[in-house]
Each structure stands twice: as structure tokens, then as C-alpha cells.
Copies of this chain bind each other. A is one copy, B any other.
């Protein structure tokens, strides 16, 4: 129950990120709702397809579509308001990141993948929506570019999915979510970034 609520909060916040981008890219209202759903559900859909759990959960339940539609309409009618809420939205987004990473890693473990690959699928669950959102708007995915986003998801998923530390499951999952969310929040507030590779000359 509590987990379901957290999950739907994650869906809502990720959907907001899709809706905001869609409004800025001048999609029509239907496109706004569609991109909101894509941003919220693509990570989990990719995970389910990769582990063979079809149809994906996000397409089996009506709740994802309903929550994403609500978020899309919020963006459509209240774009200016959402923009002013950027900071709280980023905090919720960090929460969604941690939660999705942990849920994704556990599902992958259940499907028989190794802890290392479960961590990778957890990360894909957490960042897949943002990647799909950016691909559909013809941008290099932001989640690969900055601010310790994908890395936070990978570390959290790895902690949640690995028993190598001897943690009981009931502890590993919240610890992983807390690690991913906390690392992301720290990176945001302290403006941590990873150093870019040096280029020989300006041929980017």
C-alpha cells in the first residue's frame, strides 16, 4: 500500500517531466499526455520487455495511464506554475529515481538475472523514461549528461539487488532507494558533477 503510493508518486513526477518538455516542444495536448506517459512508463516497459514479462505491467494496469494523463493535463493547463515548482519537482524526481531503481532491480533478480545485471536493469528502469522522453524530442538524453543521475540509480539498484553485503532483503531495498535518492539530492544541492574527458582539440 505504502509502496504503491510511492510508486504512483514516482509515476506522477516522471510524467510531469515529460509533460513539461512536451509543452516546451510545442506538442499538442494529446502529445503532452502521450509524452507524460512515455516519460513515466518507458523505463518499466523496457525492463519488462527485456526480462520477458509481457505484457508490461505499465500496460496491464490502468493506474499508470490515469496518473500520467493527470500529470500531462497539469502541465498543459499549468505550465507556468510547474516551472516555478522546479526545485520541489526535482526532489520528487530524486525520490522516483531511487524507488524505480530498487523496484527494477528486484524484478530483474526475480527473473533470474545476476546481481550485476539486475543493477543495470534497475538503472534502466529508473532512467529509461527520461531517455525515451529526450529521444522523442530529438535531444541527447539529459540523464547521461549531468549531475550524477544514472550513476546514482545504478549504485542504488546495485545495493538493493546485491546480497553481497549480507544485508537482509527487507533492509537492502530501502537502503538502495535511500542511497540513490540521497546521492542524487546531494549532487543537486552541491552541484556535483563528474569531470568530462579532455578533447585534443575542438572537434566535438
Contacts and interface: CB of A to CB of B under 8 A. Distances in A.
Q: How many of these chains are in the complex? A: 3
Contact of A45 (B50, B54, B75, B137): B50
Interface size range of chain A in the complex: 35 or more
B25 A79 contact: no
B111 A55 contact: yes
B141 A197 contact: no
A194 B51 CA distance: 38
Contacts of A148: 30
Contacts of A159: none
Interface of A: 22-32, 34-35, 45, 49-52, 54-56, 59-60, 62, 65, 75-77, 79-80, 83, 108, 111-114, 116-117, 120-121, 131, 135-141, 144-146, 148, 150-151, 154, 193-200, 203-204
